[in-house]
Structure 1
Amino acid sequence: MPIIKGVTSLLLICVITLILGIPLLILTLLKLLAPTQKMRNLLLQTMNEITLHWIGANLWWMRQWLKTPLTVEIPDDLSDNQWWLIISNHRSWTDIFMLFMALHRRIPMPRFFIKRALLWIPIIGQAFWALEFPVMRRYSRQQLAKNPKLAEIDRRATQRMCERAKDYPISIVIYVEGTRFTPVKREHQQSPYQHLLRPKAGGIAQVLNLMGDQLSGILDVTISYTNPSPTFWGFLCGTEQPVTLTARRLAVPKWMLDTQYHAQSQDKERFHQWINALWQEKDALLDKRTHHD
């Protein structure tokens, strides 16, 4: 039964993607041919609305069919007419749909930092590109050490998104660990946290430097799973155990607006102190929610 449910769930995602993907691809072509930025922005907003319908359609059947036990704790004063930076821990692809279930239509259409390889997924990859999701190339430390200029490619992608986002409300979602948490990755990193990987502050610092004065705030999201090894397939099969999502609103500290993370070592250190303190609180919260032997 769980396997049949999982296959059916996968088919539902594919069918909805195909139905709404066709107008999205047409608008993508029109956006490429649009002669002015104003027209491109108008088409982009229409594409945002189609994507929100795609999210809403999937959430409807997921709630009815999968019935994942999700407990949500979020601020009451969220608005889809404001700008938000969302930072979250990362355990599974399921995290994305948990975020959608908690925040859909309560915040603007979210943008995720995505891996370049995801652009090759039919329809979805083209949608990521057309919707102007920032694409990260993920260079290794060895590559960056050999050619430091490579880091500028990812920074320019973030800058383009932030500059265009000043014209309309946006939510920027950053998984600051850079990858999904596993105990093996934690040991490899020698992470000081029990339930988290080491956070990376560069993306947050750049977004806050470019858009900090426009943001309504930071949403610090913590997702905890009763299942110690959650998977997206388990979610699609309807076997996921209870999940808790907590979001707290943080004000953007004024000192972040004028810092130069990549140019000033003291600014970099201050950002790291800030995110590490946040991660210590998040790790303590996750520890309270973890079922220990």
Structure 2
Amino acid sequence: MSKLFAPITFLITTILTIIFTMLCSIPMVFAGVLKLLLPFKPIRRGVSSFCNFMMWCWCLSLAFILKITNRITWDIQGTDNLSKNNWYLLISNHKSWTDIVALCVLLRDRIPMNKYFLKQQLAWVPFIGIACWALDMPFMRRYSRSYLLKHPELRGKDIETTRRSCKKFRDHPTTIVNFVEGSRFTEQKKTKSKSPYRNLLPPKSAGIALALNVLGSQFDKILNVTLYYPDNEQRPFFDLLSGQMKRIVVRIETLPVDESIRGDYLNDKAYKRQFQLWLHGIWQSKDQLIDRLKSEYRK
């Protein structure tokens, strides 16, 4: 799409996204109210199935918007042998809001609907908050270290939220998505966090360790996803909305779920250290992969 039409494309894309989001989320809001009023297991299962279908419709609408507003070349590896009948734990680097769009569009017909760990503030967004609650997505409240020192009773609150949410995913195939860096990557955040990686923030291990502990026997695989936007590194989401996204690179590595990565993260210090080393090893390989992709696409 020509840069001349970028402002018009941005407006069209934004309007279409809002319209489709409302059309898909409003039915989920009513379904969520039904689940709240009738909290019985058959009702909850029916609501979950309906909301998953509506989320699939939303992902389909995003694919339609991308098709008419952008000319994207997808460079994808690793989608073979994925199934909508399996349980997956998906971990990914996090560069931009574009990551969520890319994962939804690419994987909507390959794996169960993605369930994200969301920031608590999103719970109050009109339509979106209740819709995500109806989808059983966990809302996480992040506390600073100084705040926890003043309110020690809140320590571990996010972990308990993760535990309760993961138990809900036992009833039907689910993909739990965790951007384990905890925030979108920027050079400023990399410096502030003293990240040992060139292209990533340090991974946070507690959330996925607990998900593996609660649902480990049901997870079929871990999907280690690396996302990269070689022509739109500076502002990928704005470029996507403006019709300027040129290429999306996706690499998916399928990892086994075995006993060595399952354990009591809260009480077993040896396991906690082992798990952190395992995750940092994955992140080191991911960092090197992004370096190689940068080198390939700059030739």
TM-score tier (shorter): over 0.9
Aligned-pair CA distance for 1:18: 2.3
* C-alpha separation in 1, matches of 2:149 and 2:265: 18
Partner of 1:86: 90
2:180 aligned residue: 176
How far apart are the structure 1 equivalents of 2:164 and 2:141?
15
- The aligned residue for residue 11 of structure 1 is 15
In the alignment, what sits opposite 2:233? 228
Deviates more, 1:33-42 or 1:218-227: 33-42
Rounded to whole Å, the distance in 2 between the matches of 1:22 and 1:179 is: 28
**1:281 aligns to 2:285 (yes or no):** yes
- Whether 1:28 aligns to 2:32 is yes
| Equivalent residues of 2:89, 2:177 under 8 A apart | yes
Q: Distance in 1 between matches of 2:209 and 2:149?
A: 21
Task: Find the partner of 1:121 among 125, 129, 141.
Answer: 125
Could you tell me which of 43, 48, 60 is aligned with 2:47?
43
Does residue 148 of structure 2 align to residue 150 of structure 1?
A: no
Please give the alpha-carbon distance, in whole angstroms, between the structure 2 residues aligned to 1:35 and 1:177. Answer: 34
Q: Which amino acid aligns with 2:16?
A: L
Cα distance per residue 1:145-200 (max 9 Å; x no partner): 34343233211221122111111110000001000001111111111100000011
Structure 1 match to 2:222: 218
Instruction: Provide the rounded CA distance (Å) in 1 between the counterparts of 2:85 and 2:245.
Output: 33
Which amino acid in the other structure matches residue 122 of structure 1? P
Structure 2 Cα separation of the partners of residues 148 and 68 of structure 1:
48
Query: Per-residue CA shift, 1:17-65, capped at 9, x if unaligned?
Result: 2222332222122111215222122112111111111111221221232
Q: 1:84 offset after TM fit, Å?
A: 0.2
CA distance in 1, matches of 2:163, 2:45: 17
The one-letter code of the counterpart of 1:142 is S
- TM-score, normalised relative to structure 2: 0.93
- The Cα offsets for residues 85-136 of structure 1, whole Å up to 9 and x where unpaired, read as 0000000000011112221121111110000111122111221122111111
Contact 2:113 2:174 in 1 (8 A): yes
5+ unaligned residues in a row in structure 2: which ranges?
none
Task: Check if 1:192 corresponds to 2:193.
Answer: no
Cα-Cα RMSD: 1.6
Q: Which secondary structure does the structure 1 equivalent of 2:224 belong to?
A: strand
Pairing of 1:129-144 with structure 2 (within 5 A)? 129-144=133-148
SS of 1:249 mapped into structure 2: strand
For the structure 1 residues 110 and 237, does the alpha-carbon distance in structure 2 shift closer, same or farther, using more than 3 Å as the test?
Answer: same
Letter in 1 for 2:80: D
Percent identity between matched residues is 36
Aligned residues: 292
Q: Are the equivalent residues in 1 in contact too, given 2:229–2:236 (CA < 8 A)?
A: no
Where 2:249 maps in the other structure, the secondary structure is strand
Contact 2:225 2:251 in 1 (8 A): yes
Please give the alpha-carbon distance, in whole angstroms, between the structure 1 residues aligned to 2:216 and 2:155.
22
1:207 is matched with which residue?
Answer: 211
Secondary structure at the aligned position of 1:166 is classed as coil
Distance 1:148 1:271, change over 3 A: farther
1:250-261 aligned at under 5 Å gives the runs 250-257=255-262, 259-261=263-265
Aligned equivalents of 2:86, 2:112: Cα separation in 1: 7
Matched residues in 2 for 1:271 and 1:230: separation? Answer: 33
- Counterpart CA distance in 1 for 2:126 and 2:258 is 40
Separation of aligned partners in 2, 1:131 and 1:45? 9
Does structure 2 conserve the Cα–Cα contact (< 8 Å) formed by 1:31 and 1:44? no
